[in-house]
Amino acid sequence: MTSLTHVLTKFKTAAGEKSHEHVVEAKPYSNPYYVGVGLGLVLLAAFVIMGRGLGASGALSTVTALTVNTVAPSHAEGNQFYQGYLGDGTTNPLKDWLVFEVLGVLAGGFLSGIFAGRIKVKVEKGPRISSKKRLVFAFLGGALMGFGAKLARGCTSGQALTGGALLNLGSWAFMMAVFAGAYAFAYFMRRQWT
């Protein structure tokens, strides 16, 4: 119980509430090689335990299909894309593996931030760009990645991790395109960081 109290105190302190304890310095980031091995083990565990790999865009598609079905059921009923996520109506689509995976990623990332002392609201950017412009670029980049994920039939986690581990040629082509696009646009976007 003491550790939970300590975590909550750290969270309240990071959120701006006053605490009698001193603020803990943020821990350094993890070694990327260790994290890569850990991610590989998580992917292997997902295959062994759940019988399928990792992904994220399917969870958003499930929530979107449910929302459309709630607002305009006749439209969702006549749409093959939405029906693929809604199923036959006997099982709640929110019980899908990807929905729980994404909820776990959000909860795990939040807890990790608390334990590392990194919970704070700020905009990561370079000195020569405004916060507003940085947020606009972040939104546009996220929207393009989301659109690309649907065109590619999977997001970077589904295509690169799961598809790449299965040696899927389309997944490898997708990731080469992601890296090529990132390098091509890095020159034009570098002012956000330098």
The pLDDT value given to residue 9: 55
78 DSSP assignment: T
What is the per-residue pLDDT across 53-63, written as a single tens digit (0 to 9) for each?
A: 888 888 888 88
Domain boundaries, the chain: 1-120, 124-194
The pLDDT value given to residue 1: 45
Alpha-carbon gap, residue 17 to 114, rounded angstroms: 15
Say how many CA atoms lie within 13 Å of 123 toward its Cβ: 16
pLDDT band, very low/low/confident/very high, at 18 (cuts 50, 70, 90): low
The fraction of the chain above a pLDDT of 70, given in percent, is 87
The pLDDT value given to residue 145: 83
The pLDDT value given to residue 97: 82
CA-closest candidate to residue 54, choices 147, 179, 191, 158? 158
